[in-house]
Amino acid sequence: MTSESQPADDLAPMEQAVNAISLRLHGIASRTVGTLIASEVLRLNDAVRAGAAGRISYSAQPADFAALLLASADPSNAREDT
Amino acid sequence: MSTAAEALSWPIAQVAAHLRDSTFSCEELTLAALERAQKQQPILYAFIEITAADALAQARECDREAALGRWRGPLHGILLADKDCFELEGRSMTVGSRVMDPQPGGRTATALLRLKAAGTVDLGPLNMNEMVAGPTGQNPHFGDCRNSVDPSRISGGSSSGSGTAVGAGLVFGSLGSDTGGSIRLPASMNGLFGLKPTYGRVSRSDCFPRAISLDCVGPLARSAHDCALLLEAVAGWDPQDPSSLAAPVPEYSRRLERAGAGIRIAVIATFVDYDAQVQEAFTRLVAAASARYGAAREVAFDGLGACNAMGDIISKVEAATLHGQWMRERPYRYSQAVYSRTEPGLHVPAVHYVEATTARASVLQEFLQGTMGKADVLLCPTVPVPVPTRAEADMEGSGKVFGVVARLTALTRPFSYLGLPVLTMPTGRDGNGMPMGVQLIGRPFGEARLLSVAQALATEIGWSA
């Protein structure tokens, strides 16, 4: 069981950055091999950036999600059987 | 074996009927369960603590009420236990962790209050992955929870004790919580039915979170009918949980026969590699479903990977927010795995967290209109690999945690991001005798349909616990 890996030349600067940010911005010391955190941060960063592309509009807000769940309710949940 | 001891493996409705006709008392049932739980505890580590005296007191109260003719409903006198992330007044909640100093709970979680009102008996807090984080049941603080079928294999997590205790017949059902698969994985790995309800369906008040934007509370049990009974007891809007949703709560157990009628099913093309045995069992299940509901066509879900990552980023950032102060002040009270998994949440750009939460409705809308546009229930395996041994899935080893989590949650986390109800049910056993599972994915608040389909398919494939 292995995780996806990032190109090595991408990891070194990111490893330095996360180590610095961890202590300076959060006051938290890392307990993990730096390249693993860097790799995970890059993986999430790239996947979410790509996934969100074209989906952020001025009228969108997080609360739309719960409203859509209610609006799209399955008919089997109605008070009377359908 | 006494009748009460035999009854520990029965369906809830059958046990309830025998409690009513006084075949055995709730106290006798509880004594039998306690004896079995205490015997199994050094083997399975299913409980954080078996609260025998409290359980017996609750059982005697159930018997007293019954003697007066007061039956609270179908769960009166039914033995349960719940993941130790639900606060209970007077009891110290561990969340499977040593990070917080023990102190008696000041409140009781709404879900527990609702179960109590339904007349259930609580055998004690169940083991879990530390801080609601981890798909394996591994816990260096309270002992690794073991699989009820084969203790050399993982229980699944993070609701590990919730799966093992039910699978081993120590209780009839349990509550777990699910952020990225934490109900579905232990249910699947222990041969159970486990339901992650629609986001907002069940209150999370006073339930310790991993990520409040994703967490769902739901039941694990040995049949769809048992799950239905538990869900109808706990579901519904709760003023104590501002993100619970005010949708009607049907009597799920009464809709089991009809809610699946006339549905359209489809198989999700995930592009994830399945182990050959998982694929074979899944194919058999799909054939049974097709015979009953009509041919299951395959539908694409191109956004699976993106939904996985968006769920992951929300989980990690919200967890890092919650744990930051403790990570700063008492870092070595965390296991290596949980600390490592939480660290990336400190570093991903805030913009991407907001993107993941803001785009969520748009992604869900696309899924409902596209992938789910011509289907009421979608099918895909719960775990792409057979249940690993504890050694194979050790997350404490250097650098192992991210790979283990990614592999086990590849098919569960995307649907947490979508907030949809997902029920896992058994599909069969692999060559080692270990259970495998399938996910039934429904439309928002489609729990009644999922329970109905699961009950029908269990009969079709001849599954018995």
Contact of B311 with chain A, judged by CB distance below 8 Å, is answered with no
Side chain identity, residue B290: S
Contacts of A36 (CB under 8 A, 6+ apart): B340, B399, B402
Report which of B451, B462, B465 is spatially closest to residue B198, judged by C-alpha positions.
Answer: B451
Which of A11, A30, A44, A49 should one mutate to test binding to chain B, selecting the residue with the greatest count of B CBs within 10 A? A44
Measured from the Cβ of residue A79, the count of other Cβ atoms closer than 10 Å reads: 8
C-beta atoms of A22 and B346 within 8 A: yes
User: Is the predicted pLDDT of residue B108 greater than 70, yes or no?
Assistant: yes
Of all residues in chain A, the percent with pLDDT exceeding 70 is: 87
Chain A residue numbers touching B196 (CB-CB < 8 A): none
**Mean pLDDT across the stretch B79-103?**
97
Looking at the domain B3-183, which fold is it? Amidase signature (AS) enzymes (3.90.1300)
Cβ neighbourhood burial of B377 (10 Å; 0-12, 13-18, 19+): buried
Q: What percent of chain B has pLDDT over 70?
A: 100
- The whole-number pLDDT of residue B59 equals 98
**What b/e sequence results for B241-274 when a residue is b if at least 16 CB atoms lie within 10 Å of its CB, and e otherwise?**
beebbebebbebbebbeebbeebebbbbebeeeb
Q: How far apart are alpha carbons A1 and B36 in whole angstroms?
A: 35
pLDDT, tens digit (0-9, with 9 covering 90-100), for B178-237: 999 999 999 999 999 999 999 999 999 999 999 999 999 999 999 999 999 999 999 999
| Residue B182 bears catalytic tag | yes
User: Is pLDDT of A1 > 50?
Assistant: no
Domain ranges of chain A: 1-55
Residue B47: CB atoms within 10 Å: 26
Confidence band for A3, pLDDT divided at 50, 70 and 90: very low
Percent of chain B having pLDDT more than 90? 97
Contact list, A47 vs chain B (CB under 8 Å): 305-306, 308-310
State the SS3 of A20-57.
HHHHHHHCCCCCCCHHHHHHHHHHHHHHHHHHHCCCCC
Q: Does A8 touch chain B (CB under 8 A)?
A: no
The closest alpha carbon to B348, from A1, A25, A55, belongs to A25
Peptide bond before B203: cis, by omega within 30 degrees of 0?
A: no
Catalytic-labelled residue, pool B148, B162, B182, B335: B182
| pLDDT (average), residues B272-279 | 97
Task: Single out the residue of B196, B221, B226 nearest to residue B74, CA to CA.
Answer: B226
- Please provide residue B146's backbone torsions phi and psi, each rounded to the nearest 5 degrees: -105, 160
Q: Which of B138, B358, B405 would you mutate first to test chain A, the one with the most A CBs within 10 A?
A: B358
Q: Which of B158, B203, B205, B335 is catalytic?
A: B158
**Per-residue model confidence (pLDDT) at position A2:** 39
What is the rounded distance in angstroms from the CA atom of residue B386 to the CA atom of residue B405? Answer: 14
Give the per-residue pLDDT at A9: 76
Do B419 and A76 count as a contact with CB atoms less than 8 A apart? no
Give me chain B's average pLDDT, please. Answer: 97
Task: Note the pLDDT tens digit of each residue in B345-377.
Answer: 999 999 999 999 999 999 999 999 999 999 999
**Average pLDDT, rounded, for chain A:** 89
B430 touches chain A (CB under 8 A): no
Cα–Cα distance measured from residue B249 to residue B260, given in angstroms and rounded to the nearest whole number: 17
CA atoms within 13 A on the CB side of B173: 30
Distances in Å between the alpha carbon of A44 and those of A1, A10, A34, B356? Answer: 18, 14, 16, 11
pTM of this prediction? Answer: 0.97
pLDDT at B143 > cutoff 80: yes
Q: Is B158 a catalytic residue?
A: yes
Backbone angles phi, psi at B381, to 5 degrees: -60, 160
**Domain edges within chain B:** 3-183
Nearest to A78 among B248, B348, B447 (CB): B248
Q: Do B316 and A4 touch (CB under 8 A)?
A: no
| Predicted interface score ipTM higher than 0.90 | yes
B163, B156 Cβ separation under 8 angstroms: yes
User: Could you tell me the CA-to-CA distances from A15 to A35, B272, B395 in Å, in that order?
Assistant: 6, 29, 22
What's the gap in Å between the CA of B465 and the closest CA on chain A? Answer: 27
